[in-house]
Chains A and B, each alone.
Chain A
Amino acid sequence: MAAARKTKKSNISGEELKEHYRSMLLIRRFEEKAGQLYGMGLIGGFCHLYIGQEAVVVGLEASAKEGDQRVTSYRDHGHMLACGMDPKGVMAELTGREGGYSRGKGGSMHMFSAEKNFFGGHGIVAAQVPIGAGLGFANMYRGNDNVSFAYFGDGAANQGQVYETFNMASLWKIPVIFVIENNQYAMGTSMKRSSSTPDFYHRGAAFNIPGQAVDGMDVLAVKAAGEEAVKHCRSGKGPYILEMLTYRYRGHSMSDPAKYRTREEVQKIRQEKDPIDHVRDLLIEGKYATADDLKALDKEVKNIVSEAAEFAADSPEPAIEELYTDIYA
């Protein structure tokens, strides 16, 4: 079974690199703003921030094509922004307003976009895994060459339905990429305390599904691995597993005091492995951009996020009639 650690980088232009930088920065700033709005009481309930993991979705989206689908868990804001959903609509959903993607009825964990082939936004840990395989099944059934990306965490990777899905996906050669975002903590339980083996990319071995572990803090490594996985799936060879080694800087949700890890651990990764700093360095070192260019980009992204926040705060609450709509088609 071809399961090996790889850090092969794809050839990339300065423009592309700048685009990745921008996409990751948008997610970072968006999530920081969401955190603020939560503190102000504008966002309620559960809110799971993606800060630290940005390179995973940005790198994989760079390997996808029009028509491919994606589905993920409740830590979903980054996935939505990366696939091109409007930050205003996402933020307004977080505030539970009419202008949100689900008109305020889904919330942080439940957003969808038929237009962008984003299938949620699922609150039950690992439920999105067979759903993602079902999206791939539909592609196979229709005979197109689209693939689906089913994102889930190291916590979800211990759920039984993941292995039921691995079995059928391999048996039927479903074109689905299982992306295990291993941020090392399932809520407050470290991987070491919950997983009998450290390498999630091996978990498909019993089902003959190839897998590789990828530096999920390096957008170029992610993109290169994504391209390999996509090629495998599109050529009819069945599913593929990508274990993204990543890290979330914030708590599991807004109410997480994060006593299960040290401040030093988080700081160390921020300083040494930050995915955005990494690309910033590449841009400067490669002379693809000047410090001023990046400053301008930062400002542009900040403006987009501010506008999204304003929109989300100003958008009215859904009309009370919405209570009884969308129950049946």
Chain B
Amino acid sequence: MAIQILMPALSPTMEEGTLSKWLVAEGDEVTSGQVLAEIETDKATMEFEAVDDGKIGKLLVAEGTEGVKVNEPIAVLLEDGDSADDLGETKPTAKAEKPAKSGDTPTQAEKSETPKAPATVSADVVMEDIPEGTTFTSRTVRESLRDAMAEEMRRSGDVFLMGEEVAEYQGAYKISQGLLEEFGPKRVIDTPITEHGFTGIAVGAAFAGLNPIVEFMTFNFALQAMDHIINSAAKTLYMSGGQMGCPIVFRGANGAAARVGAQHSHDFAAWYSQVPGLKVVMPYSAADAKGLLKSAIRDPNPVVFLENEILYGRSFDVPDIEDFTVPIGKAKIWRSGDDVTIVSFGIGMQYALEAADRLAEEGISAEVIDLRSLRPMDTETIIKSVKKTNRCVTVEEGFPVCSVGNHISSVLMQQAFDYLDAPVINCTGKDVPMPYAANLERLALVTTDEVVDAVKAVTYR
């Protein structure tokens, strides 16, 4: 019986890809391991190999086709004894065909129940600071981060990017795509795998007045560099009586991706938020990713810029404004409402917004605040909202103990106590290392259901 060859998932977050080029033709005999096609994912162009020996019976997807969904049949392979007549009768192959060049980023299927971000900014978003009549272009978070770095590198020769695989590999998550080509190896610098060392070097360069952007492949690896982020970068301005600052950006993927286990799934938002001297930013949308990264690069202080792998491929409307920046320390109200305030940031926003949609169907009007910056935190916007709604639920993927939500609860208790009609509820990830099993991972992360339940609890529904 003929075998269907399916579009493979070649990265943790890949949902679809472009079939760039067929390297075989119909009628060709192929052997296991032979490269069949080049497939462009959201991260890179990968070679795709045959798993079985046989003859190419039919190519189902023409080369150059974009948006081919993962698991869609792309070709039919005839095994010994099959004839072209068997083409109508096929069986699917085991899906995960091994990419020839998987690199060192994990490859597995996308998380199955990831809620979708709104494709475009919804109508009731409060778009402060964006002039009327502004046009928008749909961009992914990934592209926006790259655009921000490129624009800032064009603006100032003192800005440079260093990290693992940022240059020739074009970024482990393809964030720095094209930067080496434009700015050259002096300003887009591949480092050895040595976080402690290269972070220290970057901090020294910042002390000398340069503006390094340090990419951590993920923030899990920044634990190796924690001493320089905290003791060297954050504290020197104070220790030097204001003589010497550290204008540096530490950026990279933070928090859970999908099925990468406990050591690669840690959300450090609360950790960094504790440290005076650091600024901490965690954007959700592509526009904020761009505007905040540009602000972070210009900031004279060390900025920890927490991204999220799941969000990299998401598209949002980005305003067509030249030199678009978003101020650090200012929250954004995505949706106004009267019954409850939902406060979140980063990927937590997708649960918050989805919960707000569902609650609206049940007649509960939620105001959704995206903090965007965690330090300094725009508590004024939260308090103002809570004075209106009298109820608050916070949402984050991080651990529950000493969470960002705990801090917000404390602020509200002290500064809006008389306005609260119910205790603040913090929806967080569970108090466990991240499990690998798909079902357990879903349980370990915060869910939209939990947010909906929390809102019902604080509104006594």
Contacts and interface: CB of A to CB of B under 8 A. Distances in A.
A168 interface: yes
24 contacts: A69-B208, A102-B241, A106-B240, A119-B207, A122-B232, A130-B196, A130-B198, A131-B201, A133-B200, A139-B208, A148-B204, A161-B196, A164-B196, A164-B197, A168-B191, A168-B192, A168-B194, A168-B198, A171-B192, A326-B237, A326-B238, A326-B242, A327-B238, A327-B277
Contact of A130 (B200, B209, B236, B301): B200
Interface stretch (A16-24, A52-60, A109-117, A244-252): A109-117
A138 interface: yes
Contacts of A83: none
Contact of A102 (B186, B231, B232, B240): B240
| Residue with the highest number of chain A CB atoms closer than 10 Å, among B200, B210, B228, B242 | B200
Contact of A134 (B207, B239, B240): B207
Given A101-B241, A105-B238, A123-B231, A138 B200 contact: no
Contacts of B238: 105, 326-327
Interface in B264-283: 276-277, 279
Nearest to B196: A161
Contacts of A102: 239-241, 243
Contacts of A213: none
B232 to A, nearest CB: 6
Contacts of B228: 127, 130-131
- Dominant secondary structure of chain A at its interface with chain B: mixed
A327 B276 contact: yes
A134 B242 contact: no
Interface string B283-298: 0000000000000000
Nearest to A121: B239
A114 B243 contact: yes
A171 B209 CA distance: 23
A315 interface: no
Interface in B239-271: 239-245, 247
Contacts of B240: 101-102, 106, 110-112, 114, 120-121, 326
Interface in A75-123: 100-106, 110-114, 119-123
A327 B237 contact: yes
A1 B186 CA distance: 28
B199 A130 contact: yes
A171 B192 CA distance: 10
Closest 8 A-B residue pairs measured CB to CB?
A134-B204, A130-B200, A164-B197, A138-B208, A102-B241, A131-B204, A112-B240, A329-B300
A102 B240 CA distance: 5
Interface in A147-200: 148, 160-161, 164-165, 167-168, 171
Nearest to B194: A164
A124 B239 contact: no
A135 interface: yes
Contacts of A329: 237, 242, 245, 247, 300-301
Contacts of A122: 231-232
B200 A134 contact: yes
Given A113-B243, A141-B160, A168-B197, A131 B203 contact: yes
A120 B239 contact: yes
B457 interface: no
A137 B160 CA distance: 12
Given A141-B186, A327-B238, 20 more contacts: A102-B243, A112-B239, A119-B204, A120-B239, A120-B240, A132-B204, A134-B201, A134-B206, A135-B204, A136-B204, A139-B208, A141-B205, A167-B197, A171-B192, A325-B242, A326-B237, A326-B238, A328-B237, A329-B237, A329-B300
B191 A127 contact: no
A167 B231 CA distance: 23
A252 B231 CA distance: 22
Interface in A291-329: 325-329
B202 interface: yes
A47 interface: no
By size class, the interface of chain A is 35 or more
Nearest to B240: A112
B227 interface: yes
A105 B192 CA distance: 36
A137 B189 CA distance: 12
A281 B443 CA distance: 78
B245 A133 contact: no
A328 B301 contact: yes
Contact of A165 (B201, B205, B279, B301): B201
Interface in A26-56: none
Contacts of B209: 138
Contacts of A141: 160, 186, 205, 210
Nearest to A136: B204
Interface string B218-233: 0000000001100110
A234 B90 CA distance: 69
B192 A134 contact: no
Contact of B204 (A104, A113, A130, A325): A130
Nearest to B193: A164
A232 to B, nearest CB: 20
Contacts of A167: 192, 194, 197
Nearest to B186: A141
A133 B204 contact: yes
B201 A137 contact: yes
A160 B244 contact: no
Contacts of A325: 242
A130 B240 CA distance: 19
Contacts of A222: none
A127 B209 CA distance: 18
A71 interface: yes
B257 to A, nearest CB: 26
B227 A127 contact: yes
Contacts of A171: 192
Nearest to B208: A138
Interface string A5-23: 0000000000000000000
Contacts of A138: 204-205, 208-210
Contacts of B232: 122, 124, 127, 131
A130 B197 contact: yes
Contacts of A134: 200-208
A104 B194 CA distance: 35
A155 B199 CA distance: 21
Nearest to A119: B207
A129 interface: yes
A71 B200 CA distance: 13
Contacts of B239: 102, 105-106, 110, 112, 120-121
A132 B247 CA distance: 16
A69 to B, nearest CB: 7
B211 to A, nearest CB: 11
A133 B201 CA distance: 6
Contacts of B236: 112, 120
